[in-house]
Chains A and B, each alone.
Chain A
Amino acid sequence: MTTEALYLQQIINGLSLGAMYALLALGFTLVYGILELINFAHFNVFMVASFIGMWALELLGLSGQGVILTGFALVGALAFGFVVTMVLAGLLGVAVERIALRPMRAVRGTAAMITTIGVSYILFNAVLLTVGADSKNYPNPMPDMHWDIGGATLRLREVLIWGVALVLMAGLHLFVNRTRLGKAMRATAQDAEAARMMGIDVDRVIITAFFLGSALAGAAALIFGLYYNYTSFIIGYSAGLRAFTAAVLGGIGSVTGAMVGGILIGLIEALGGQIVSVRWDDVIIFSILVLVLVFAPSGLFGRPSATRS
């Protein structure tokens, strides 16, 4: 491969990673926008969802990369996988909110965030103790279709990932900006107290934010499995931190910011691994996180709210 082709390949990879991080980042940003809460449970809701997706596909008789589908069968199987994963992941997010976070809502300070760390640990270990520590081969019914673009390879799975991510993000955008509940969400994000006094059911808005965010994490989780062909109990932490960094980089609380930030982090990871070294990937990501928080806490699109008044 020529150097140009190598970089082009990394850009393609970066866009795929970015699409996944963007979907995952939206969950952080939706919840933060409304509750000002950094939800560590989101990391492992994503991880659990990747297993849900795996089981959903296995329910269709798919296992490993042995069974290949085409045409409507492929579309149907994937649609089934996405719908089941997103709905169940969404419900898991709602359960987390309902059981662990709602009682903490009146508590000031970082107590709620500490609780989400605990929830994240519980999800993590629940999977570790039941499913086991070895990584699982992910069912992937996609045919090995690919195109050659300037020396780089564009695979069907990448096109599919971009397509799904675009549809979901467009859908979320329409939901937030065009529906009644979306308007209620934006109002609550601005001022929850005022929204409540205007007759908005804030509990419902919060539940919706958790459902949508977790459902998008579900989509990201299935994309992860289809992209890497494996899943494991440890995938939540590193993907989650990258997505969180994406949300911060875009401006936490901003839906557009999460999308742009996700793509940027995906590109940075792919190209950074190429240019520097994969060993320093995490340091690069964490440095971005720290630098953005310290020097530009409102990110690219966010409201300035990270510093104390």
Chain B
Amino acid sequence: MAGRDRAAPRRGTIGAETFAFLWRASPVQWIAPHWRPRVAVALVTLAALVFPVLHRNDADIDSAANALAYAALALGLNIVVGFAGLLDLGYAAFFAIGAYTYGAFASFQIEPSWSPFWQPFEALGLVAHIGDVVHFTVSFWLMLPVSALVAALFGVLFGAPTLRLKGDYLAIVTLGFGEIVPIVARNTPSVTNGAMGLNGVAAPQLFGWSFGVDATPYYYVGVALVAVLIFASGRLKSSRIGRAWMAIREDEIAAAAMGVNRVKFKLLAFAIGAAFAGATGTYFVAKLQTATPEMFMFPVSVMILVMIVFGGIGSIWGVVVGALILQMLQSWFLQDLSQWLHALGRLLDVQWLQQIELVQSIEMIFGLILVTMMLYRRQGLIPATRNVRALTMAEQTAQVELAAPPPVERLRGDFTYCGPDPLLAINDLTVRFGGLVALRAVALTVPARSVVAVIGPNGSGKSTLFNAVTGLVTPESGSVQFAGYPIERLPPHVVLGRGMARTFQNIRLFPNLTVLENVMIGMHARLHAGVPGALLHLPRTRREEAEAREHCREILALFGNRLTPRADHVVSSLSYANRRRVEIARALASSPKLLLLDEPTAGMNPAETLELAGQIKSLHGHGLSIVLIEHKLDVVVSLADNVVVLDHGEKIAEGPPDVVRRNEEVIRAYLGRSASLGNAPQESAPRGSAAIA
């Protein structure tokens, strides 16, 4: 298992040296590092397969089969909560939908009277003609995917209204749906038999042999189900889809700006998470051969949530382990412990010890686990993000190497726009926030292969201009044309797809993802892998992923040895300047024709500023057009072909840099009225004076 071979060296708290010693002495060292995960998976699989053979206790195998169902549910909830960051408090509803879907088509619950209409279904073996009624006998194996599909449809149905909601409100709405589903089930006894529970759900059959009530075959189906879901979760997580989900989880706005269609991918997460639960519901109800609404109420949703919190939100092996441990605790350990306490009570002749029933306190334990994990170990037992070896002192203080020539051949074609229209043409753009006019009738043209700088005092509307152009803010009036097509009403991810990428003034990276993952998300719109491609690793998808990785590494190399050695580091551990570089790299990964940089050198020292200015210049040399918001006028002068000055939302000047910097109105806007008369003390406006100097 992936978790085990990482566990030892990471613990830095108690007995770290003991751990380190045991780790070095352990047999794990005999196995080559890249083989360890496979060996671990093989061992776990083997253990799971031989368990019922070695341990021939039907009740224990039954508990294990139930535990596997909850592991499958935890995997499904993990897609929604762990990957996409959408807290679902009513997840058991999909479990219920899957269960009742199978229940409806494989029990004595619904029995319409016989008519010739059913003849073809009988021929297919889906229904049986008993007396003068129809009896549904749809196969368990057919119903597994069908239930998953039905649950997925409900996932989309329940997910759609929540798309605009903030995290906690989303949770409440899902809780509402989660409560409504079992109540509807209870109150529609014609389909569900209400609180009495479904009648005679058919056991699965395999080649004519019925599973019956023996736990072992169910156990093996459960193992297979969990194995398939682990596999699917892993494949999805490491694909374009998983990256899009994690981007939404980390920063929704940035995800949209980097080309992720939020609506589509959130609904996809709901649908796939629900599908997992739907299949599991079918498995569970087939095993139990009945279903009551109480099996799907709020406490069940909370229990699954506790499992993934305990195991590690977002961590595939973590949630499986979390679910198994908590289920085993419930069905084995607490019972044993109660027995031991009873025995102790008899021994000591203490009455209350003999009456303790710890199983009843399982919800108390859930509550304690939830609070303790949240307060002291939010990443769970097996965290989703693994720690990467820190750079050595030598690597950290390494001489900055910038000379590495960028792979010109690869990048050139991507960046260049050669149409007849100006690349970007903004006309009469007005943006209003309530009573405040943030931009008033601004016009701006960016010819292909040019660098335009937008300057102006704080609050003059520069960032709003970027937001309006990239679709994050809807302008009140005016037009924005990109490469000849209007884009002012397009959502951000479409704007990125058209070839315009941006950075943010206050850096919006995906903080818990690595440098490489961040940059890979920038490529989202240029890749095509869908769910089948991600799951099956089709050759096309594999090639696409490998090329994307290669391309992203090339882009990282544009910054010399600044980012390349840190490719696998989580971006929140990076220095401020490096985070700015990652954000630019992420934007470049989308192969934009136009790059919008919002104060790229803010917070950098003079040497770093110079370095970045040089890199921007070389990008421009590759044919990339750039719009730059910048306060440091020396950067502006060295890069820009044209400068636009905004003040209070209006364009007050435009022209080549050295003309604009002498413009009276510009100086007044920056330094105030008196400065333009030539008698302002320099100290009165430190930022402006530094900029103008």
Measured CB to CB, the residues of A under 8 A from B are 36-38, 100, 103-104, 107, 109-115, 117-122, 124-126, 128-129, 237, 241, 244, 248, 279-280, 282-283, 286-287, 289-290, 293-294, 297, 305-308
Q: How far is the CA of A308 from the CA of B360 in the complex (A)?
A: 41
* Contact yes or no, A122 B371, CB < 8 A: yes
Q: Which single residue of chain B is at the shortest CB-CB distance from A112?
A: B374
Nearest B residue to A38, CB-CB: B168
Q: Do A115 and B169 contact each other (CB < 8 Å), given the known contacts A282-B179, A286-B179? A: no
Contact check, A124 vs B171: say whether CB atoms are below 8 A apart: no
Q: Pick the most buried of B87, B367, B369: most chain A CB atoms within 10 A of its CB.
A: B367
Would A294 and B367 count as touching, CB distance under 8 A?
no
Would you call A100 and B165 a contact (CB within 8 A)? no
Q: Using A100-B375, A109-B167, A293-B165 as known contacts, say yes or no to A117 and B370 having CB atoms under 8 A apart.
A: yes
Closest 5 CB pairs of A and B: A118-B370, A121-B367, A125-B364, A118-B371, A122-B367
Q: Pick from A104, A111, A124 the residue with the most CB of B within 10 Å.
A: A111
20 A-B pairs (CB sep. < 8 Å): A36-B168, A38-B168, A38-B171, A100-B371, A109-B85, A111-B378, A115-B370, A115-B371, A117-B370, A118-B371, A120-B367, A121-B364, A121-B370, A122-B368, A279-B186, A282-B183, A283-B184, A294-B164, A306-B165, A307-B169
User: B187 on the interface (CB 8 Å rule)?
Assistant: yes
Partner of A119, one of B173, B305, B371: B371
Taking CB atoms, residues of chain A closer than 8 Å to B118 are none
* Residue of chain B at shortest CB distance from A123: B367
Is the CB–CB distance between A286 and B370 below 8 Å? no
CB contact under 8 A between A124 and B363, given known A290-B161, A294-B161: yes
B169: chain A residues within 8 A (beta carbon): 293, 297, 306-307
Checking A107, A110, A308 against B164 with a beta-carbon cut-off of 8 angstroms, the contacting residue is: A308
Q: Do the beta carbons of B378 and A107 come within 8 Å of each other?
A: yes
For B81, the closest partner residue in chain A by CB is: A110
Knowing A38-B168, A111-B378, A118-B371, say if A125 contacts B183 (CB, 8 Å): no
Q: With A104-B375, A125-B363 as known contacts, state yes or no: A110 contacts B183, CB within 8 Å.
A: no
CB <8 Å contact, A290 and B177? yes
Known: A237-B298, A293-B165, A307-B166. A115 touches B364 (CB 8 A): no
Please, which residue of chain A has its CB at the minimum distance from the CB of B364? A125
Interface size class of B (residues with CB under 8 A): 35 or more
**A110 and B167 form a contact (CB under 8 A):** yes
Q: Tell me, yes or no, whether B176 is within 8 Å of chain A by CB.
A: yes
Contacting pair B302 A121 (CB below 8 A): yes
Contacts of B364 in A (CB 8 A): 121-122, 125-126, 129
Q: A102 → chain B, closest Cβ, in Å? A: 10
A113 to chain B, nearest CB (A): 5
Chain A nearest CB from B431 CB (Å) reads 15
Specify which chain A residues have a CB less than 8 angstroms from the CB of B366 in the assembled complex: 118, 121
- Return chain A residues, CB-CB under 8 Å to B176: 286-287, 289-290, 293
B163-206 CB contacts (< 8 Å) to partner A:
164-169, 171-173, 176-177, 179-180, 183-184, 186-187
- Is B416 engaged at the interface, CB distance under 8 Å to the other chain? no
**Which residues of chain B are near A115, meaning CB under 8 Å?**
370-371, 374-375
Q: When chains A and B are docked, how far (Å) is the Cα of A221 from the Cα of B401?
A: 69
Q: Is B361 an interface residue (CB 8 A)?
A: yes
Q: If A121-B366, A124-B363, A308-B252 touch, does A283 touch B180 (CB 8 Å cutoff)?
A: yes
Closest partner residue, chain A, to B161 (CB atom) = A294
Are the C-beta atoms of B162 and A118 separated by less than 8 Å? no
From residue 26 to 60 of chain B, which have CB atoms closer than 8 A to chain A? none
- In the complex, what residue of chain A is closest to B298 when comparing beta carbons? A237
Measured CA separation A114–B380 after assembly (Å): 14
> Which residues in A have their C-beta under 8 angstroms from that of B164?
294, 307-308
Q: Which of B663-677 contact A (CB under 8 A)?
A: none
Cα of A289 to Cα of B375 in the assembled complex, Å: 30
Q: List the B side residues contacting A307 at CB < 8 Å.
A: 164-166, 169
Question: Which among A100, A110, A112, A287 has the highest number of chain B CB atoms within 10 Å?
Answer: A110
Whether B183 lies near A293 (C-beta < 8 A) is: no
CB distance from B365 to the nearest CB of A (A): 9
- Which residues of chain B have C-beta atoms less than 8 A from A126's C-beta? 364
Shortest CB-to-CB span from B650 to chain A, Å, is 25
Nearest-neighbour CB distance to chain B for A226, whole angstroms, equals 28
B260 to chain A, nearest CB (A): 15
Taking A103-B375, A286-B183, A306-B166 as given, write out 19 further A-B residue pairs in contact, using a Cβ cutoff of 8 Å, ordered by the A residue number: A100-B375, A111-B378, A114-B87, A115-B371, A117-B305, A118-B306, A118-B367, A118-B370, A120-B367, A122-B368, A124-B363, A279-B186, A289-B176, A290-B173, A290-B176, A293-B172, A297-B169, A307-B166, A308-B165
On chain A, the residues within 8 Å of B298 by CB distance are 237
A5 to B548, CA, bound (A): 74
Residues of B within 8 A of A306 (CB): 165-166, 169
The residues of A that contact B378 with a CB separation of less than 8 Å are 107, 111
Nearest-CB residue, chain A, relative to B252: A308
CB contact list, B539-566 vs A, under 8 A = none
- Contact: A129 with B371, CB < 8 Å? no
Given A103-B375, A120-B367, A282-B183; A125-B171 close (CB under 8 Å): no
Which of the residues B165, B172, B177, B302 comes within 8 Å of A38, measured between beta carbons? B172
Query: Which residue of B166, B177, B306 contacts A308 across the interface (Cβ within 8 Å)?
Result: B166
- B365 to A, closest residue via Cβ: A125
A114 to B374, Cβ gap below 8 A?
yes
Residue B309 at the A interface, CB < 8 A? yes
For A118, list chain B residues within 8 Å (CB).
306, 366-371, 374
